[in-house]
Amino acid sequence: MKRMPAPIRLRELIRTIRTARTQAEEREMIQKECAAIRSSFREEDNTYRCRNVAKLLYMHMLGYPAHFGQLECLKLIASQKFTDKRIGYLGAMLLLDERQDVHLLMTNCIKNDLNHSTQFVQGLALCTLGCMGSSEMCRDLAGEVEKLLKTSNSYLRKKAALSAVHVIRKVPELMEMFLPATKNLLNEKNHGVLHTSVVLLTEMCERSPDMLAHFRKLVPQLVRILKNLIMSGYSPEHDVSGISDPFLQVRILRLLRILGRNDDDSSEAMNDILAQVATNTETSKNVGNAILYETVLTIMDIKSESGLRVLAINILGRFLLNNDKNIRQVSLYTLVFGYVALTSLLKTVQTDHNAVQRHRSTIVDCLKDLDVSIKRRAMELSFALVNGNNIRGMMKELLYFLDSCDPEFKADCASGVFHAAEKYAPSKRWHIDTIMRVLTTAGSYVRDDAVPNLIQLITNSVEMHGYTVQRLYKALIDDISQQPLIQVSSWCIGEYGDLLVSGKCEEEEPIQVTEDEVLDVLEGILVSNLSSTVTRGYSLTAIMKLSTRFASTVNRIKKVVLVYGSSIDVELQQRAVEYNALFKKYDHMRPALLERMPVMEKTSTNGPTEIVQTNGETEPSILETKHMPNVPQPANQANDLLDLLGGNDVISVIQTAPPTKLVSAGGELLDLLGDLSLSGSVPAPGPQVSISQPPFLLDGLASQPLFNDVAAGIPPMIAYNKNGLKIDFTFERSNTNPNIAVITMHASNSTEVEMTEFVFQAAVPKTFQLQLLSPSSNIVPALNAGTVTQIIKVLNPQKQQLRMRVKLTYTHKGSSLQDLAEVNNFPPQSWQ
């Protein structure tokens, strides 16, 4: 049989491949070589196996498949020659992973090698096990690892420690097994062992709180080791730029961090050493700064005393300054510090706000840095630092940043600006100007939820309406490509178009605009290709609203609405058809329906804004995302009541929502007309929709007693009787909880004029709890023609005498009246 020529060495292969000029040529060479290797493997030739596998590994690194070499690696591992074993294990680590079945075959080899006479072989085995051992392998060999952890050979001990880490990661239950071996790991002098021991301890502490508690007693020893490192002077073995083993220092600091977290005693024990490291470490080279960085992280995480924290923040501040001064020199190190320092500061700003504020100007300068990661950190940090005092200056910088930054930042920056402006705006005009600026410069990056928030803000700034609509109009004629801007502007023009054409603007020169010009702009948006469907919807609605605000162009509006009644877009079509109906059949309702929006109550600043629809005013929904659910009364009312009972009494009042109707997308317009609610408890501008009577079904139920057994014999009482307004209380006792008394309030009016906007509020002493359900309505008809009822539930666990203070507000004969009264004449049965 003809023998194949000796396979080429790895060097030859590499040289050959380097001569390849194209990818195809390279592939060809490699395939040829692979074929040669395969045949060589088939010959089972031990001499060249090592060489072949080495070549295979090289080709694997280039990205070519090499799985046919896996078994060969195993054979190499089993060989007695160290060179063979070395390549075999290397191949195993590179080519195999625990998903291959082949690797299980290694277990026996590794086991033998762990007990080999040569330490380097043992080392190899440990290394391989520590990198890619599967859970079965780890389980089998954990005992061997543990034995090696106790050996005095430092070369092996350090590798055993890291293999132990791997075993613990794969089979957490075995962690306890290594506990005894850790007892004197830290007594080692050898830094390699120390280093890996610290890693092992860290892993164990992170996995088990019991271990963490157990190892806390090591803090003094760790502190001692760290101290020696710092004080030891020059040690050629571990020196890096004049600092003794910085890697070990960093590792120890990290372990100290974990041990000191949430533990006062440990934190106190490390205070001194941390201060020492922080002040003594050389900062001229990167090495020193690496240690300082870790120290700062540790200080921030444990329960350190405030002096230490301030020290840490100042170190970070110095890092940032480093950045500034050397920017001309373009020193790589200082720019690295800038990034690192900013990340740390971000983590600390919540806790040590004042100290960080001092570095604000440096941080703001980082916004102009060239590095993308630095800019992002600086932006996040800047937003976190904004407060009432620095809002104007910070906002100027941030808006400038918004103008010039990359698109990836714009959305976040815009949201941040809105959020900050909302919290700290010094004046309404400033707030609106800021929003305008964001919309015009980054309008297309603004998030969708910003639009309803802005609309609400604008509505609530009543005195700025004229100014706002004028500015938005001007922005609109410049540019109609940014959707959020157009949406907000259209909405505004729809609401306040009358102010626009009448030239009512206090803040700046009013512009001369005719009704037709406004309609031109809005219609332009409708037909533009740039507008999205949502935007078109806004625009159409705005045009419709203007029909009640503009005097001379109603016919034009009617024509537009008619045209869109046959639009292909279903959303637009539906709106147009309904508006058409409004013109035709319900023209008498049109003014009321399209009226100005009232001031909206905001319930939460996070998340989608809930808007309370008061007074039954229906607005065909502007946005799909906006819906008006029932909303509990704002806290203001409770605060008013706190004033009622002066002195020591503290009341708890829980009021439930007035029965506001759920308004949803325009399709139910016609249904709602029949169901318009009258009973809002918040007075609203403009005339009420006049529908004469009855509270609807739900209210009817609410005013009836909710519990069937009328408690025998508790007599009703008159709580208040003045100026024609009489308040009666009737009592029931709850059958579920005998401590709760259920009082029904009946309000009647004996004068000839009805009382409108009637609101009943009550407060009780501290020992009671009170709950007011919704009233049946807020109009008390004249001449005792009907009553307003409301249910009051009082919880009286201590069976104390019931006292109540009531506050009545209502409008009578055109003037609004208010009265306070004490109710003390409760019958004893109601509270005993």
Residues contributing to the site for other proteins (CB under 8 A): 10-11, 14, 54, 57-58, 61-63, 65, 82-83, 86-87, 90, 93-94, 97, 99, 120, 123, 127, 130-131, 155, 158-159, 162-163, 165-166, 191-192, 195-196, 199, 237-238, 240, 245-247, 250-251, 254, 286-287, 289-290, 293-294, 297, 330, 332, 335-340, 370-374
Which residue's CB is nearer to other proteins, number 196 or number 761?
Answer: 196
In angstroms, what is the minimal distance from the CB of 802 to other proteins?
A: 60
Number of other CB atoms surrounding residue 663 within 10 Å: 21
Which residue's CB is nearer to other proteins, number 335 or number 518?
Answer: 335
Which residue's CB is nearer to other proteins, number 130 or number 317?
Answer: 130
Listed residue (808, 761, 807, 799) closest to 780, CA to CA: 808
Taking a C-beta distance cutoff of 8 angstroms, is the pair 511, 559 a contact?
A: no
Which residue's CB is nearer to other proteins, number 248 or number 682?
Answer: 248
Taking a C-beta distance cutoff of 8 angstroms, is the pair 496, 510 a contact?
A: no
3-state secondary structure at position 425:
coil
In angstroms, what is the minimal distance from the CB of 165 to other proteins?
A: 7
In angstroms, what is the minimal distance from the CB of 11 to other proteins?
A: 5
Listed residue (555, 565, 470) closest to 521, CA to CA: 470
Taking a C-beta distance cutoff of 8 angstroms, is the pair 96, 70 a contact?
A: yes
- 111-144 residues labelled b (16+ CB within 10 A) or e (exposed): bebbeeeeeebbbbbbbbbbebbbeebbebbbeb
Residue 461, CA distances (Å) to 197, 340, 476, 510, 819 in order: 64, 43, 20, 18, 30
Which residue's CB is nearer to other proteins, number 130 or number 494?
Answer: 130
Which residue's CB is nearer to other proteins, number 131 or number 599?
Answer: 131
In angstroms, what is the minimal distance from the CB of 569 to other proteins?
A: 40
In angstroms, what is the minimal distance from the CB of 289 to other proteins?
A: 6
Q: How many CA atoms lie within 13 A of 237 on its CB side?
A: 7
Which residue's CB is nearer to other proteins, number 289 or number 660?
Answer: 289
- Rounded CA separation 185/120 (Å): 21
**Burial (CB count <10 Å: 0-12, 13-18, 19+), residue 208:** middle
In angstroms, what is the minimal distance from the CB of 54 to other proteins?
A: 6
Listed residue (296, 285, 194) closest to 247, CA to CA: 194
Which residue's CB is nearer to other proteins, number 163 or number 809?
Answer: 163
In angstroms, what is the minimal distance from the CB of 586 to other proteins?
A: 58
Tokens 């020696």 belong to: 228
In angstroms, what is the minimal distance from the CB of 298 to other proteins?
A: 11
In angstroms, what is the minimal distance from the CB of 241 to other proteins?
A: 9
Taking a C-beta distance cutoff of 8 angstroms, is the pair 212, 254 a contact?
A: no
**H runs (alpha helix) in 177-231:** 191-207, 209-215, 219-231
In angstroms, what is the minimal distance from the CB of 357 to other proteins?
A: 25
**Structure token digits, residue 220:** 């003094």
- Rounded CA separation 763/771 (Å): 10
Kind and range of the H or E element at 758? strand 755-763
Which residue's CB is nearer to other proteins, number 195 or number 626?
Answer: 195
Non-local (6+) Cβ contacts of 232 within 8 A are: 244
Which residue's CB is nearer to other proteins, number 86 or number 590?
Answer: 86
Which residue's CB is nearer to other proteins, number 330 or number 570?
Answer: 330
What region does 763 belong to: left with phi over 0, alpha with psi -120 to 50, or beta? beta
**Burial (CB count <10 Å: 0-12, 13-18, 19+), residue 307:** exposed
Which residue's CB is nearer to other proteins, number 197 or number 539?
Answer: 197
Which residue's CB is nearer to other proteins, number 50 or number 794?
Answer: 50
Number of other CB atoms surrounding residue 648 within 10 Å: 7
Which residue's CB is nearer to other proteins, number 366 or number 770?
Answer: 366
**H runs (alpha helix) in 150-190:** 154-170
DSSP state of 790: E
In angstroms, what is the minimal distance from the CB of 64 to other proteins?
A: 9
Residue 451, CA distances (Å) to 156, 399, 408, 595 in order: 65, 19, 20, 21
In angstroms, what is the minimal distance from the CB of 73 to other proteins?
A: 13
In angstroms, what is the minimal distance from the CB of 371 to other proteins?
A: 4
Tokens 């015009």 belong to: 440
Which residue's CB is nearer to other proteins, number 47 or number 389?
Answer: 47
Tokens 């359900």 belong to: 773
Phi, psi of 193 (to 5 degrees): -65, -45
Listed residue (538, 587, 575) closest to 666, CA to CA: 575
In angstroms, what is the minimal distance from the CB of 57 to other proteins?
A: 7
In angstroms, what is the minimal distance from the CB of 287 to other proteins?
A: 6
Query: What are the residues facing 762 on neighbouring strands?
Result: 806
In angstroms, what is the minimal distance from the CB of 192 to other proteins?
A: 4
Non-local (6+) Cβ contacts of 712 within 8 A are: none
Which residue's CB is nearer to other proteins, number 196 or number 749?
Answer: 196
- Rounded CA separation 103/73 (Å): 10
Which residue's CB is nearer to other proteins, number 199 or number 438?
Answer: 199
- Rounded CA separation 171/167 (Å): 6
- Rounded CA separation 103/134 (Å): 9
Kind and range of the H or E element at 562? helix 554-564
**Structure token digits, residue 765:** 């002493």
In angstroms, what is the minimal distance from the CB of 502 to other proteins?
A: 54
